[in-house]
């Protein structure tokens, strides 16, 4: 609806994907191209998350581990990048760049913290990969669009159509089982799957949706409690009539200035941040400007 579109900028999703690819390339160069293996080992120890290095003060590894992936398992990084791309393509217009990046960072950090808590005594264990960020974004997408059918390629071959809420619940059940019966007991079959990090990322996504996206803070007089996502609860019929908003559009210049402000807000904070009055104004202005 702008007269002169602004200069296109690189999206936050593109920057995140580029950072992960760059980390994977640097990791591969350090491990395979240097004849001295100590170079690759030093690179990995400085960026991967492990209880031993974290105790030594390597706090930045809570973020840097998300940029690394196993060079011997190419499908590890390929799967994460594909999931980030498809989830980000849907969520970025809704959340805005700042919130989208914030969800990714929070999922990686909380996933790393939960993993550290579950593996604190396993000094030889390491964590790499952006799966915690993918899990966090998946939960946010499932909470916002619980019943929107999505098609997945099982084993990159077989197309399977699922609702996001069932996909999120299935992943939650899988990781809870893996955490309780494989990772915590120290089973060898769970060495390549960080179930605790996945659960930490999912928790970060759910906390964002409940505490920020929905903006349903408890009042001081209400009892403190944790509620399930809206799609997990039975819907309640509302008897209150839908509110009616009146919009005073004023002159065309004032209208265009207000529309520009709303579009800037959508670009920075996402469409979900608009108030009902702003959404109504956007709809009315679309019709009026198309007739001019």
Which CATH number does the domain housing residue 151 bear?
Answer: 1.20.1540.10
Could you tell me if residue 255 is left (phi over 0), alpha (psi between -120 and 50 degrees) or otherwise beta? alpha
Statement to judge: residues 278 and 188 lie in one domain:
no
> Looking at the structure, do residues 275 and 163 belong to the same domain, yes or no?
no
Q: Which long-range contacts (CB under 8 A, 24 or more apart) does 57-64 make?
A: 61/112, 62/108, 62/109, 62/112, 62/113, 63/105, 63/108, 63/109, 63/112, 64/23
Residues above pLDDT 90, as percent of the chain: 49
Residues 56 and 132 in one domain: yes
Tokens representing residue 105 in the block: 């960072």
Please indicate, yes or no, whether residues 256 and 205 belong to a single structural domain of this protein. no
Verify that 205 and 262 share a domain, yes or no: no
- pLDDT over 80 (residue 22): yes
- pLDDT band, very low/low/confident/very high, at 241 (cuts 50, 70, 90): low
Domain count, the chain: 2
188 belongs to a structural domain: yes
| 226: in domain | no
Residue 236 counted as domain residue: no
Residues 64, 142 share a domain: yes
The residue among 178, 181, 204 whose CA lies nearest residue 192 is 178
191 and 278 belong to one structural domain: no
237 pLDDT above the threshold of 60: no
Q: Could you tell me which residue, 70 or 267, shows the higher pLDDT?
A: 70
What are 194-236's pLDDT values in tens digits?
Answer: 999 999 999 999 999 999 988 744 433 344 444 555 545 555 5
For residue 287, being part of any structural domain is answered with yes
Q: Are residues 100 and 165 in the same domain?
A: yes
164 lies in the same domain as 257: no
pLDDT in tens, 242-286: 444 444 555 677 777 788 888 878 777 777 777 888 878 777 776
Boundary residue ending a domain (182, 213, 244) = 213
Please state, in angstroms and rounded to a whole number, the distance separating the CA atoms of residues 111 and 203: 8
Structural domain contains residue 175: yes
Out of 158, 193, 213, a domain closes at 213
Structural domain of 72: 12-213
126 and 269 part of one domain:
no
- Tokens 């009616």 appear where? 244
User: What letter would DSSP give residue 49?
Assistant: B
Q: What is the pLDDT of residue 261?
A: 83
Pair (178, 267) in one structural domain? no
> Stretch 11-37: mean pLDDT, rounded?
89
Q: Which residue has the tokens 């004023």?
A: 250
Judgement on whether residues 276 and 143 belong to the same structural domain of the protein: no
Task: Give, to the nearest 10 degrees, the angle between helix 195-208 and helix 164-178.
Answer: 140
């Amino acid at each position: 609806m702008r007269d002169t579109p602004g200069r296109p900028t690189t999206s936050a999703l593109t920057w995140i994907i580029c950072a992960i690819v760059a980390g994977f390339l640097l990791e591969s160069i350090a491990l395979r191209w240097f004849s001295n293996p100590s170079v690759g080992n030093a690179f990995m120890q400085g960026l991967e998350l492990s209880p031993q290095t974290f105790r030594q003060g390597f706090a930045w590894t809570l973020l840097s581990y998300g940029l690394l992936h196993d060079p011997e398992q190419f499908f590890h990084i390929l799967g994460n990048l594909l999931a980030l791309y498809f989830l980000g393509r849907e969520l970025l217009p809704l959340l805005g760049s700042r919130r989208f990046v914030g969800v990714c960072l929070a999922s990686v950090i909380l996933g790393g913290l939960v993993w550290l808590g579950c593996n604190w005594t396993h000094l030889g264990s390491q964590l790499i990969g952006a799966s915690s960020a993918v899990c966090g974004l998946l939960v946010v997408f499932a909470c916002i669009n619980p019943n929107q059918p999505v098609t997945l390629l099982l084993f990159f071959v077989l197309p399977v159509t699922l609702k996001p809420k069932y996909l999120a619940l299935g992943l939650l059940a899988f990781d809870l089982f893996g955490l309780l019966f494989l990772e915590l007991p120290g089973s060898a079959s769970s060495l390549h799957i960080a179930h605790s990090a996945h659960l930490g990322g999912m928790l970060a996504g759910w906390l964002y949706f409940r505490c920020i996206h929905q903006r349903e803070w408890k009042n001081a007089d209400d009892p403190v409690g944790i509620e399930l996502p809206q799609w997990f609860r039975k819907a309640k019929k509302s008897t209150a009539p839908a509110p009616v908003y009146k919009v005073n559009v004023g002159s065309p210049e004032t209208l265009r200035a207000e529309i520009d402000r709303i579009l800037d807000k959508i670009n920075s904070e996402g469409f979900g941040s608009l108030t009902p009055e702003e959404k109504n104004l956007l709809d009315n202005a679309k019709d009026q400007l198309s007739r001019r």
